[in-house]
Amino acid sequence: MKNLINLPLLVNLSLLFIFTALTTTDSRAAHPSWLKDSMSRLEKELLTKYGEIRKDQLIRGMKQVGDFWREEDGDAAAFEDFVRGNFAGDEKVRDAIFTRFQSLLEKIDGSMHEIDIALDRQTDLNLGPIYPFDRVFASYGVSAHIMDDFFTNKLAFVVLLNFPQTTLEQRLNEGEKWTRRQWAEARLVQRFSKRIPASVNLALARAGSASDQYIADYNIWMYHLLDNDGERLFPPRLRLLSHWNLRDELKANYENSKNGLAKQRMIIKVMERIVDQTIPAVVINNPHVDWNPYTNKLTAAAVSDSDEDPAADMRISDDPEPDTRYRIWLDDFLASRMVDEYSPTAPTLIERRFNEDREIPEERVREMFEQVCGSPLAARVAQVIRKRLGRDLEPLDLWYNGFRSTGKYTEAELDKIVSEKYPTPRAYKDDMPRFLRLLGFPGEKADQIAGNILVEAARGSGHASGGEMRGQPARLRTRVNRDGMDYKGFNIAVHEMGHNVEQTISMNFIDHTLLGGVPNTAFTEAFAFVFQENDLMLLGLDPQEDEQSEALKALNDFWMTMEISAVSLVDMEAWHWLYDHPQATAAQFKKALIKIAKDVWNRYYASLLGKKDVYLLGIYSHMIHSFLYLPDYPIGHLISVQVREQMQKAGNIGVEFERMALQGNIAPDLWMKGATGSPVGAEAMLEATEKALWVLE
Ligand SMILES: [Zn+2]
């Protein structure tokens, strides 16, 4: 079975190698012609000095250095001098290298972070006007050249010469038996397992910023949408960014009994036209044109809701957007592919995402998603939704969000309680030791952790930034209004505090700082969600968690996870298609993407939502600008159920939190086994869904 799954991938990869070999001009040069001779000279010389026992270590080390050595690093004599001078022939020297690199890399990371925090201060915090030069400071990356420097000064080669590179397979299969020190060594070498030329990084950054910009300006002016009766369903000035705002507006309209459904259907039509690119180019981010998305008919805006006049040269043409969406995505792919040849251990973006960033093989991730989407529970959840809505389901119910039971407190009541308790960031900061005690952290630990977290008033909604060396504070950024925090801000602050506590524990209390952090971002989100769910308890209010509302929450989790899993499957298939068709045009890619989206839909949603051949799953903007990041979201949901269940089972959040976080950045499955006894998987969520259905049915 496994071989069958792997086979197409292997075939694609070998084709790709042939393709790159034929077309590359500025390639990582083949090994220098002198390398083999130098290596055998050194082998004879150094083994005489240190003994045959060092043979494997030396040969592997020289090969690892040779793989990255370029002409500008020096000739045969320079290579030989380097190896002679830096090969650790005994354990004492090897220990010294490890210890020194660990502590100095921590110093560099922490110091660079300190500078970055200072450079971003004016744009991140609520501190008054931002001048153009403030933005330049904020976008200046002081550490951008460190990797280049480490190869130029050969410190990277010192690591490659003395510590083994590991494959994902080794980390997964042998990692369980490794010592903590071996894990730390593996992480040290991973830092230097790529040497990407500045020109390639620049091309990648350009593609990234072009796609960011394309997405950031993709607004639809909703007042200018007309239905078949010429009615405007949406209010003036409502400008929605695709896809986030469109989707959230759709969700919000479940509560609108007047014309909610009509608005939702119209949003779906707009989304379809974005995916298939039949959207007239002139309506994108333009309040001066009225548009009927059903007939695609355009007229000059009959009413104005914008402060700006139309551009003098604006022409109302019904030319569709010229497949720009797919051209930009294609450009992401072409830029990513430039990295491939410099990334010998993961020579495609797909492998870099799964094997390096997530460290869960793609086949396993796909299996988990298919397990969720293909679960027989989905039909039962859909049945619950149908009952709650009192109508047959349609494709738009992909985003059904009405599982919440009405809370005991209104938002206004909560706002009042929060703003009285927390008028300033300081007031929140002072209450943190108490919060952490309430969450089950032992007293002294609670004080120590809270003492490491700064609370600052952010401009945006909130974020958490951890220290990168011991003793460096973690920062909780949250929104505080003039009259104090509101409930939404508090809820986000509690979420961010979860990140900060994880950051504090896994940097300050861990055995090796090279293992600081978590296996991937999904894990720190899991911690943050657990905190966030307890926000009412922290306010001293009755969270009123009865069996019913718990069950609804579980179904909500499932329905959201199923949706984002299906979207992720589309994203994954799309990248495979791109690697299979590197010469494709934007039009060909569009056609393929629509087919992929339909196939995934037909497999999982057609029977639940009453329609075949829907390609809505292709609407996510992340696909265009996040380079295969989407699968992190469903993995995050699955992980967070596993972590939450374990804490519930243990009857304590704080103690379990610390025990889990202290594992640090090891392989995800290993981490999860240590935390809960099972690897990362969908079982916990499916069990919770089954239990919830039992309660509700
Ligand atoms: Zn978060």
Cα 632 to ligand 1 centre (Å): 12
Cα 394 to ligand 1 centre (Å): 31
How far is Cα 203 from Cα 334, in angstroms, rounded to an integer? Answer: 9
What are the tens digits of pLDDT across the range 497-527? Answer: 999 999 999 999 999 999 999 998 889 989 9
Q: Is the model's pLDDT at 4 over the cut of 60?
A: no
> Are 483 and 631 part of one and the same domain?
no
> Are 531 and 634 part of one and the same domain?
no
Q: What is the pLDDT of residue 238?
A: 94
CATH code: domain of residue 421: 3.40.390
How far is Cα 682 from Cα 690, in angstroms, rounded to an integer? Answer: 12
Cα 528 to ligand 1 centre (Å): 6
Q: Is the model's pLDDT at 2 over the cut of 80?
A: no
Q: And the tokens for 461?
A: 């909604």
User: Higher pLDDT residue, 314 or 406?
Assistant: 314
Q: What is the pLDDT of residue 18?
A: 31
Angle at 543 (CA atoms; ends 541, 545), nearest 5 degrees: 160
Q: Is the model's pLDDT at 27 over the cut of 70?
A: no
Q: Are strands 453-457 and 297-300 parallel, antiparallel or unpaired?
A: unpaired
Cα 307 to ligand 1 centre (Å): 36
| Domain presence at residue 241 | yes
What are the tens digits of pLDDT across the range 569-589? Answer: 999 999 999 999 999 999 999
Cα 50 to ligand 1 centre (Å): 50
How far is Cα 334 from Cα 21, in angstroms, rounded to an integer? Answer: 15
Q: Name the pLDDT band for 309 (thresholds 50, 70, 90).
A: confident
Cα 289 to ligand 1 centre (Å): 38
Cα 532 to ligand 1 centre (Å): 10
Q: What is the pLDDT of residue 406?
A: 65
Mean pLDDT of 244-272: 95
| Domain presence at residue 558 | yes
Overall number of domains in the chain: 4
> Are 533 and 572 part of one and the same domain?
no
| Domain presence at residue 374 | yes
> Are 49 and 182 part of one and the same domain?
yes
> Are 444 and 380 part of one and the same domain?
no
**462 bridge partner residues:** 478
20-34, 61-75, 443-457: range with lowest mean pLDDT:
20-34
- Helix/strand/coil percent split, the chain, to 5: 65, 5, 30
Task: Residue 446: give the domain boundaries.
Answer: 411-538
Percentage of the chain with pLDDT > 70?
A: 95
**DSSP category for residue 405:** P
> Are 477 and 377 part of one and the same domain?
no
Q: Name the pLDDT band for 24 (thresholds 50, 70, 90).
A: very low
| Domain presence at residue 510 | yes
> Are 633 and 566 part of one and the same domain?
yes
| Domain presence at residue 129 | yes
Angle at 505 (CA atoms; ends 499, 508), nearest 5 degrees: 125
> Are 532 and 604 part of one and the same domain?
no
Cα 404 to ligand 1 centre (Å): 21
Q: Name the pLDDT band for 273 (thresholds 50, 70, 90).
A: very high
Q: What is the pLDDT of residue 312?
A: 82
> Of the residues 500, 518, 538, which one is the last residue of a structural domain?
538
Cα 278 to ligand 1 centre (Å): 36
How far is Cα 136 from Cα 153, in angstroms, rounded to an integer? Answer: 29
Q: And the tokens for 342?
A: 């410099």
Q: And the tokens for 676?
A: 């809960």
Cα 75 to ligand 1 centre (Å): 49
> Of the residues 257, 287, 322, which one is the last residue of a structural domain?
322
Q: Name the pLDDT band for 598 (thresholds 50, 70, 90).
A: very high
Assign 3-class secondary structure to 463-508. Answer: EEECCCCCCCCEEEEECCECCECCHHHHHHHHHHHHHHHHHHHHHH
Is there a contact between 561 and 624 (Cβ–Cβ < 8 Å)?
no
Cα 503 to ligand 1 centre (Å): 12
| Domain presence at residue 261 | yes
Q: Are strands 453-457 and 474-478 parallel, antiparallel or unpaired?
A: parallel
Mean pLDDT of 380-404: 95
Residues with Cβ within 8 Å of 505's Cβ and at least 6 positions away in sequence, in order, are 449, 657, 658, 661, 662
Q: Which residues of 114-153 are buried (b: 16+ CB within 10 A; e: fewer)?
A: eebbebbebebeeeeeeeeebeeeeeeeeeeeebeebbee
> Are 184 and 35 part of one and the same domain?
yes
Q: What is the pLDDT of residue 21?
A: 32
Cα 291 to ligand 1 centre (Å): 38
> Are 443 and 367 part of one and the same domain?
no
Q: Is the model's pLDDT at 567 over the cut of 50?
A: yes
**478 bridge partner residues:** 457, 462
Q: Is the model's pLDDT at 607 over the cut of 80?
A: yes
28-37, 164-173, 273-282, 590-599: range with lowest mean pLDDT:
28-37
Cα 496 to ligand 1 centre (Å): 6
Sheet containing 462-465: give its strands across.
453-457, 474-478, 462-465
Cα 425 to ligand 1 centre (Å): 19
Mean pLDDT of 389-404: 94
User: Higher pLDDT residue, 327 or 408?
Assistant: 327
Q: What is the pLDDT of residue 41?
A: 96
What are the tens digits of pLDDT across the range 419-435? Answer: 999 999 999 999 999 99
| Domain presence at residue 565 | yes
Mean pLDDT of 119-135: 90
> Are 226 and 168 part of one and the same domain?
no
> Are 44 and 188 part of one and the same domain?
yes
Q: What is the pLDDT of residue 547?
A: 86
> Of the residues 493, 509, 538, which one is the last residue of a structural domain?
538
| Domain presence at residue 126 | yes
Is there a contact between 190 and 183 (Cβ–Cβ < 8 Å)?
no
Cα 499 to ligand 1 centre (Å): 7
Cα 9 to ligand 1 centre (Å): 33
User: Higher pLDDT residue, 496 or 217?
Assistant: 496
172-176, 412-416, 457-461, 654-658: range with lowest mean pLDDT:
457-461
Cα 179 to ligand 1 centre (Å): 30
User: Higher pLDDT residue, 544 or 491?
Assistant: 491
Residues with Cβ within 8 Å of 248's Cβ and at least 6 positions away in sequence, in order, are none
How far is Cα 358 from Cα 611, in angstroms, rounded to an integer? Answer: 34
Cα 408 to ligand 1 centre (Å): 26
